[in-house]
Amino acid sequence: SVISSSQNRNAILVSHRQKGNPLLKHIRNVKWAFADIVCDYLVGQSSCALYIRYRRMLECAPVNIPIEANHMIGADTSGEKVDDSSLRYHLLHPDYLYYRIKELQKNFKLHVILCHIDVEDAVKPLLEITRTSIFHDCTLLCGWSLEECGRYLETLKAYENKPADSIREQTNTDYLSRLTHALTTVRHVNKTDVVTLGSTFGSLSGIMDASMEDLARCPGIGERKVKRLHDTFHEPFRRAS
Partner 1 sequence: MLPFQEQIIADLVDDPNGGVVVLSSGLPVHTLVASLLLLHHPSQGSLLILSASESQKSSICRPNPSTSHNPIIPTDIPSDVLCHRRADLYSTGASYFITPRILIADLLRSRVPPSIAGLLILNAHRLTDTSTEAFIARALRSLSRTSYVRAFTDRPHAMVSGFAKAERIMKCLYVRRLYLWPRFHVLVSNDLEQTPPEVVDIRVPMTPAMREIQKALLETMDACLKELKRSNKVDVDDLTVENGLFKSFDEVVRRQLDPIWHTLGKKTKQLVSDLRTLRKLLDYLVRYDAVTYLKYLDTLRVSEGVRSVWIFAESSYKIFEIAKKRVYQMTRADGVRISIDRNISISKRRKVKRDCSKKEKESEAVSAKVAENVGVALEEVLENAPKWKVLRVTERRKESSPKDGKNHVGGDSNDIVLVVCKDERSCLQLEDSIIKSSHQVMRQEWEKYLLGKAELHGLCKHIGKRSQDPKGYGVLDGTITSGSSENADPRCISKLENVAIFAAASEIRHTFINAKPIPPVQFYAIDKDEHVLDIWKPSVIILFHPDTTFVREIEVYKAENPSGKLKVYFIFYEYSTEVQKFEASIRRENRAFESLIRQKSLLMIPLDQDGRCIEPSSICEPSSVVPQNSVTRKAGGRKIIEKEMQIIVDMREFMSSLPNILHQKGLRIIPVVLEVGDYVLSPFICVERKSINDLYQSFASGRLYHQVETMSRYYKIPVLLIEFSQDKSFSFQSPNDLGDDVSPTSIISKLSLLVLHFPRLRLVWSRSLHATAEIFVSLKANQDEPDENKAIRVGVPSEDGIVEDDVRAENFNTSAIEFLRSLPGVTDSNYRALMDGCRSLAELVFLPLERLAELMGGQKPAKMLREFLDANYPTMLQ
Q: Which of residues 50-79 bind partner 1 (CB under 8 A)?
A: none
Nearest residue to 231 via CA among 201, 210, 217: 210
Residues recorded for the chain: 241
Site for partner 1 in 76-95 (CB under 8 A): 94-95
Q: How far apart are CA 132 and CA 129, in angstroms?
A: 5
Quick check: 232 binds partner 1 (CB under 8 A)? yes
Q: How far is the CB of 89 from partner 1 (least distance, A)?
A: 14
Please answer whether residues 41 and 51 qualify as being in contact, where contact means their C-beta atoms are separated by less than 8 angstroms. yes
The H or E element that residue 139 is part of is strand 139-143
Site for partner 1 in 139-168 (CB under 8 A): 139-142, 144-145, 147-148, 151-152, 154-156, 158-160, 162, 164, 166-168
Q: How far is the CB of 186 from partner 1 (least distance, A)?
A: 6
Quick check: 228 binds partner 1 (CB under 8 A)? yes
The SS3 assignment for 69 reads: helix
Closer Cβ to partner 1, 36 or 173, answer by number: 173
What would the DSSP string read from start to end of 154-174?
HHHHHTTT--GGGGSPP----
Quick check: 199 binds partner 1 (CB under 8 A)? yes
**Site size with partner 1, rule: CB under 8 A:** 94
Please name the residues in contact with 125: beta carbons below 8 A apart, sequence gap of 6 or more.
Answer: 54, 87, 90, 91
Quick check: 171 binds partner 1 (CB under 8 A)? yes
Q: Which of 16, 19, 25, 191 binds partner 1 (CB under 8 A)?
A: 191
Candidate segments 34-42, 50-58, 69-77, 199-207, binder of partner 1 by CB under 8 A: 199-207
Quick check: 1 binds partner 1 (CB under 8 A)? no
The SS3 assignment for 10 reads: coil
Q: How far is the CB of 1 from partner 1 (least distance, A)?
A: 25
Q: How far is the CB of 2 from partner 1 (least distance, A)?
A: 28
Helices 175-183 and 191-201 sit at what angle, rounded to 10 degrees? 110
Helices 123-135 and 96-104 sit at what angle, rounded to 10 degrees? 30
Q: Which strands form 139-143's sheet, in the order they lie side by side?
A: 32-35, 12-15, 41-42, 47-53, 110-116, 139-143
Site for partner 1 in 103-142 (CB under 8 A): 109-112, 117, 120-124, 126-128, 130-131, 133-134, 137-142
Quick check: 11 binds partner 1 (CB under 8 A)? no
Q: How far is the CB of 107 from partner 1 (least distance, A)?
A: 13
